Amino acid sequence: MRILFITQWFQPEATFKGLPFAKELVKKGHHVQVLTGFPNYPTGKLFPGYKMKFFQREQMDGVDVVRVPLYPSHDSSALGRIVNYLSFALSAAVLGPWLTKKPDIIYAFHPPPTTYLPAFVLKLLYRVPVVYDIQDFWPETLAATGMFNNRWGLKLVDLYCRLFYKAADKIVVLSPGFKKKLIEKGVPEDSVEIIYNWFDEKNLEVQTDDADLPDVLTQKDTFKILFAGNMGKAQALETVLKAAAILKDSNPPIKFVFIGGGVEVEHLKQQSVQMHLPNVCFLPPVPHSEIAAYLNASDVLLVHLKRDPLFEITVPSKIQAYLAAGKPILCAVPGDASDLVKQAGAGLECPSEDADALAKVALDLAQMPIETLSRMGRQGKEYYTKCLSLKAGVNHFEQLFGEVIKAH
């Protein structure tokens, strides 16, 4: 198959369904061309070695990559984000027909949903089917994160998304809750396929010596709970700081470690200082190839999202990474995410934005026997390998693409 992969974010940006996915399809004998932007996520600044151009072609591990210009931005400004998303969509829609070759199928990755526009334009031009992969719901996500709250604007975004849902030959979602939500929006049930996300397992094969790890992760007398990933408004991590305040004098000593970037990092650091939290530590982002050592050096891995009905049907991508790492999980995301952790027998759950409950569950985990924690981690890894791995997901996508092409 000749597959055109449209995504605003692609390696070297930290996107979990990017180059690893494309490479696996190439290994299976398919030709993959990627239409994407110049890398600037999550800082909003172009990555070293890149300059904004009219277009740029690259070869990345057998994958043809075409980059088109966009307005680089990823801060708390709603206007900046909107211009960032729209600039890529328009560049890809206008330049895509000149820079890509006719595929057998188009695969468009969302977020943001503005990728629907170039996918639709190229679908009409090439007369081929299109598969949308929906990772979050707009306008619900905009409202839930506080990024955009204009009532009429949200209605327009909703209308835009509904129109493009109807244009898709197939829609892929990451959880049962997402499928239910699309059906409620009028999408036929047989047009929606559930394919769980995965983690780039090769990142777990690269280890870092203890000597290279920060001191906080090599301390033997503390129980380390690690949050790894983007720190934005959706993560509502002030709750974790409040839980840390409750547990300042816990026995055994519990330390919350944050690693990553995001628009809320500086605010959280300031809050931590103002709250006098010696049991909280912030570490800068590290390359994906190094994250395994940080996960392995922790006792428990934390996932937390803002309390919102939308997030009850969300499975944050870090859950797959945590399961693959084989460490116990503290899941403060009720709904599909907690259901997945429970099915795997990989950890404990608590309500989101509930500092008291989070503190209690953290203490429960810290007081568990090592054997119990090890068993949770082992069960999570086994479940991941069987049901959520890259291999399982790519096989599912390959089968789906073939069926959609045949039915077109």
Q: Indicate whether 145 pLDDT > 70.
A: no
Bridge-based pairing state of the strands 56-60 and 63-68: antiparallel
Choose among 116, 118, 93, 119: nearest CA to 105.
Answer: 119
Domain residue extents for the chain: 2-198+389-407, 202-387
DSSP category for residue 385: I
pLDDT tens by residue, 198-216? 887 777 765 655 558 898 9
How does residue 299 score in pLDDT terms, banded at 50, 70 and 90? very high
Q: What is the pLDDT of residue 149?
A: 73
- The CATH H-level (homologous superfamily) assignment of domain 2-198+389-407 is Glycogen Phosphorylase B; (3.40.50.2000)
Which among 58, 78, 79 is positioned nearest to 67, based on CA atoms? 58
Q: Average pLDDT for residues 351-371, to the nearest whole number?
A: 97
Max avg pLDDT among 94-103, 202-211, 216-225, 308-317: 94-103
The distance in angstroms from the start CA to the end CA of the chain is: 14
State the DSSP code for 251: S
Q: What is the pTM of this model?
A: 0.77
Equal fold, 2-198+389-407 vs 202-387:
yes
Topology, domain 202-387: Rossmann fold (3.40.50)
**Does pLDDT of 77 surpass 80?**
no
Lowest mean pLDDT among 80-84, 203-207, 292-296, 362-366: 203-207
Label residue 17 by pLDDT band (50, 70, 90). Answer: confident
Does residue 268 register a pLDDT over 70?
Answer: yes
